Amino acid sequence: MSTTFPSLFSPLRVGPMECKNRIFSTGHMTWLLDGGVPSDDMVAYHQARAAGGASLIITEACAVHPSTGPMHIHGFSDDCIAGYRRIADAVKPHDCKVFGQLSHGGGHNYSTLDGTRPVAYAPSALPREWSHNMPRAMTHEDIDEVVACYGATASRMSQAGLDGIEIMASHNLLPAQFLNARTNHRTDQYGGSLKNRMRFLREVIANVWASVADGVVVGMRISGDEKQNDGLQPEDVLDICMALDEDGTLDYFNVAAGSMSGLSGLIHVVPPMNYEGGYVAPLAAVIKARVSKPVLVAGRINQPQIAEQIVASGQADMCGMTRAQIADPEMANKARDGRINDIRACIGCNQACIGHMINGFGISCIQRPETGRELRYGARVPAEQPRTVFVARGGPAGMKAACVAAERGHQVVLFERSGVLGGQVQLAQLLPGRSEFGGLITNFTREMELAGVDVRRNTELDRAMIENEAPDAVIIATGASVHRPPIEGGDEAHVVDAWQVLREEVNVGQSVVIADWRADWIGLGLAEKLASAGCRVRLAVNGTMAGQTIEAIVRDRWIGDLQKLGVEVIPYVRLFGVDSENVYLQHLINDEAIICEEVDTLVTALGQGSETALETDLRGWTGDVFLAGDCLNPRTAEEAVFEGLKAGFAV
């Protein structure tokens, strides 16, 4: 047992099974599938977290029936059995249990493999706000078929050797649609009273129990609050959990938050960094106080300190720390051993985890691009011949490259021209609600210390230094600087750039137009910052919406905040010109003029330009040169860190 986190590292009995600690990985989509079955990459992904100390892994949502969509594991086919067995075989040697997760999206199903829209099935034919479906009300034959499929899929998981089964009644998926009187308008035995609305779920639970081997754990995931206008409320969920606990048919309750029925609830499915750590725990505590079985909880639990407090205070019995282990699969082992400062803490950016999933790409992490790529980058291959490697600049690309190269045995020196590390992360963390993004600097700084990187601040690396000290290789990660194109009329107007505003170097007055070419975090953050300070803000976006290029959950939360602050968003425009009182925009489609009057300041967020001076200066130098990050092409921290990883492997 850990002396630092005694509650978190005490064992817990769940049904007939004992978990070695209170840390688990919740079911979450990885997109690491091969024809609807777990791939080698998925096996390696889960194995890394088991080896890292997790006591329980719940694999991602598995489709119990073809009508729930193609993106899930195909639990309705025997083909899934071998894939699940390989996961179990990879995870169990690390004293880690593994559960499968049964899912049906009900009225939310909106995709097929050929791009056509499928028939979506739900308890009632009511419109769905997020998927824009008008589903088909399930007949009794439909219900019987789907209930049987829950049992058949559970049987396949049991045959594969999984330790447990989790039924997803969370996030307004099909069981929750039956449970909720707002989405279940049936007048038969499956609608009306709570007892009737619980009938579908109870039939599913009974069918699962009848289909699995002795000793298999059966539990349920449910949203303690769906946080949607038509969603299940905490009092609804408590009544449901108490009734099921009285039935004695579940071994545990796994409490989450949020709903997939609308955008306000969707934000809480994977809450970003501007939500407080562990904020879902009070929902679990209400249920734990009234049921007899263990209660699990997840939602922004990114640090072992938070998890320890939740368990020690009795709010829940286990903590889902999924993104924490996406960022650092060794998190549990490090916490157990008291190596708190060595943990690569998740910063809740959602960019490469949920962001990849939404766009149909394999899961990863902007801080740890090895995640999801364990078979290619999971192990540090020692360098055949240790070399002296110089790294130019200490932004995300340079820091990651330095870490990886040093971990492989090279002697690495990183040169940072300023007194602080982090590059543009230093600015990104100044955006409202984004201070946690600065954890990227903290994490990489510690990793460089552990790897033995020699960091020289206030030193600009140039060709003369390189020729004088003669390293074997140079990794150029010089980043980018503000792009300031000529703006017609700019000489007679007050024009400043985003970086100047974030550094509070300028006075913008009372009325501001933000020319947002990037359509990302910067425009949204600047608008919130200035509107919160009392400015009239018009956000002119070169795109279909503010935040068009960023992860949807982060964007949607921010757009809601801007609406409350009175920010006027003007989409589909490009900056055309400016004068002392007006900003001139041009519509992207029809080229019509749009004039913003009575403007004190134009704030530009028009992108960055690569800094290529060192690259140019080193042409003809005989050593090896590698490039990473914005000096290649200005993008985001994710690409910078990934290219830093690849440079560290290549050198």
Q: What percentage of the chain reaches a pLDDT higher than 70? A: 99
Class of domain 490-606: alpha beta
Q: Would you say how long the chain is, in residues?
A: 651
Q: What average pLDDT does the segment 506-522 reach?
A: 98
Q: For 609-643, write each residue's pLDDT tens digit.
A: 999 999 999 999 999 999 999 999 999 999 999 99
CATH 3.20.20.70 region(s) of the chain? 12-376
Pairwise CA distance, residues 447 & 453, whole Å: 9
Pairwise CA distance, residues 49 & 332, whole Å: 9
Distances (CA, A) of 644 to 55, 400, 476, 477, 638: 32, 5, 10, 8, 10
Q: What average pLDDT does the segment 78-86 reach?
A: 98
When pLDDT is cut at 50, 70 and 90, the band that residue 59 belongs to is very high
Pairwise CA distance, residues 285 & 346, whole Å: 24
Strands (E), 23-128: 23-25, 33-34, 37-38, 56-63, 73-74, 97-103, 121-122
For residue 114, pLDDT over 90 is answered with no
Query: Any idea of the CA torsion for 358, 360, 363, 369, to the nearest 10 degrees?
Result: -110
Residue 320 CB neighbours (<10 A): 27
Angle ∠(471,473,476) on CA atoms, nearest 5: 115
Place of tokens 């070419």: 517
* Neighbouring residues of 464: CB distance < 8 A, sequence distance ≥ 6: none
State which H helix or E strand residue 256 sits in. Answer: strand 253-256
Amino acid at 261: S
**Residue 513 tokens, joined:** 């137009």
Long-range contacts of 323-326 (CB under 8 A, 24+ apart): 323/270, 323/348, 323/353, 325/25, 325/49, 325/52, 325/54, 326/353, 326/363, 326/365, 326/368, 326/371
Q: What average pLDDT does the segment 230-255 reach?
A: 98
Nearest C-alpha neighbor of 220 from the set 325, 102, 371: 102
When pLDDT is cut at 50, 70 and 90, the band that residue 360 belongs to is confident
Kindly tell me the burial class for residue 341, based on how many C-beta atoms sit within 10 Å of its own C-beta (0-12, 13-18, 19 or more).
exposed
CATH 3.50.50.60 region(s) of the chain? 490-606
Nearest C-alpha neighbor of 555 from the set 529, 523, 587: 523
Q: What average pLDDT does the segment 309-313 reach?
A: 98
User: Which CATH superfamily, name and number, covers 383-482+610-650?
Assistant: NAD(P)-binding Rossmann-like Domain (3.40.50.720)
Angle ∠(632,635,637) on CA atoms, nearest 5: 105
Q: Which H, E and C letters describe 394-430, residue by residue?
A: CCHHHHHHHHHHHHCCCEEEEECCCCCCCCCHHHHCC
Contact 396, 640 (CB under 8 A): yes
Q: For 590-614, write each residue's pLDDT tens digit.
A: 999 999 999 999 999 999 999 999 9
State which H helix or E strand residue 555 sits in. Answer: helix 552-565
Q: For 140-198, write each residue's pLDDT tens digit.
A: 999 999 999 999 999 999 999 999 999 999 999 999 999 999 999 999 999 999 999 99
Pairwise CA distance, residues 299 & 285, whole Å: 13
3-class DSSP state for residue 297? strand
The residues pairing with 73 across neighbouring beta strands, listed in sequence order, are 62
Nearest C-alpha neighbor of 315 from the set 276, 293, 282: 282
The model's pTM is 0.96
Measure CA 265 to chain center. Answer: 16
Q: For 538-562, write each residue's pLDDT tens digit.
A: 999 999 999 999 999 999 999 999 9
Contact 509, 485 (CB under 8 A): no
For residue 69, pLDDT over 80 is answered with no
Q: How far apart are the first and last CA of the chain?
A: 41
The residues pairing with 495 across neighbouring beta strands, listed in sequence order, are 602
Pairwise CA distance, residues 627 & 650, whole Å: 11
**Residue 94 tokens, joined:** 């690390």
Backbone angles phi, psi at 139, to 5 degrees: -80, 170
Class of domain 12-376: alpha beta
Half-sphere exposure (Cβ direction) of 450: Cα atoms closer than 13 Å: 15
CATH 3.40.50.720 region(s) of the chain? 383-482+610-650
State which H helix or E strand residue 587 sits in. Answer: strand 583-587
Backbone angles phi, psi at 345, to 5 degrees: -70, 135
Contact 132, 43 (CB under 8 A): no
Kindly tell me the burial class for residue 486, based on how many C-beta atoms sit within 10 Å of its own C-beta (0-12, 13-18, 19 or more).
exposed
